């Protein structure tokens, strides 16, 4: 199986797990703990993680010697994209800003951990 297809499958499965967990939490917690724009946040991170991960895999296949700048570059793209998304949502006038930022940060950390895990497991066979 292609590494691109495998990575896409992993991102889809992880997003479904995150979305299922959010749905479960929405039904069990107080309604104000989960922001109403959480679906847009998960959708945004699905696409951001998918595109940045596929680009990173593509550039790593081109040159394994430049793995550190490639991974740092994709991390910077993710950070700048996230900041742009937060500013756009806040500029449009989201209500309950505190819970939006908290929920956004939690989703950001989950996808960041997913990204780190997938790239570490991918780089482990190439370390020898």
Q: What is the pLDDT along the chain (128 residues), one digit of tens a residue?
A: 688 898 999 999 999 999 999 999 888 877 777 888 889 999 999 999 999 989 988 988 888 788 788 888 988 999 999 999 999 998 988 788 888 889 999 999 999 999 888 877 766 555 55
Give the up-direction half-sphere exposure of residue 53: CA atoms within 13 A in the CB hemisphere. 27
The span from the CA of 73 to the CA of 53, in Å, is 11
pLDDT at residue number 111? 93
Distance spanning both ends of the chain, measured CA to CA: 23
The span from the CA of 84 to the CA of 113, in Å, is 20
Domain that holds residue 54: 3-127
Whether the CA torsion 54, 117, 29, 24 is positive or negative: it is: positive
Q: Which residue has the tokens 């449009």?
A: 92
**Backbone dihedral region of 93: left (phi > 0), alpha (psi from -120 to 50 degrees) or beta?**
left
pLDDT at residue number 117? 87
Domain count, the chain: 1
Helix 38-62 vs helix 97-123: crossing angle, to nearest 10: 30
Q: Which residue has the tokens 């989950």?
A: 110
96: phi then psi, degrees, rounded to nearest 5: 55, 60
Q: Which residue has the tokens 């081109």?
A: 62
């Amino acid at each position: 199986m292609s590494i691109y297809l495998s990575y896409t499958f992993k991102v889809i499965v992880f997003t479904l797990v995150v979305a299922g967990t959010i749905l479960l939490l929405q039904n069990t917690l107080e309604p104000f703990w989960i922001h109403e724009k959480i679906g847009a946040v998960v959708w945004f991170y699905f696409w951001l993680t998918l595109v940045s991960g596929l680009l990173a895999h593509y550039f790593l296949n081109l040159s394994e010697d430049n793995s550190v700048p490639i991974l740092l570059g994709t991390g910077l793209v993710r950070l700048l994209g996230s900041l742009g998304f937060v500013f756009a949502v806040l500029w449009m006038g989201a209500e309950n800003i505190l819970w939006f930022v908290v929920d956004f940060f939690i989703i950001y950390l989950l996808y960041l951990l997913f990204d780190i895990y997938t790239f570490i497991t991918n780089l482990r066979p190439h370390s020898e």
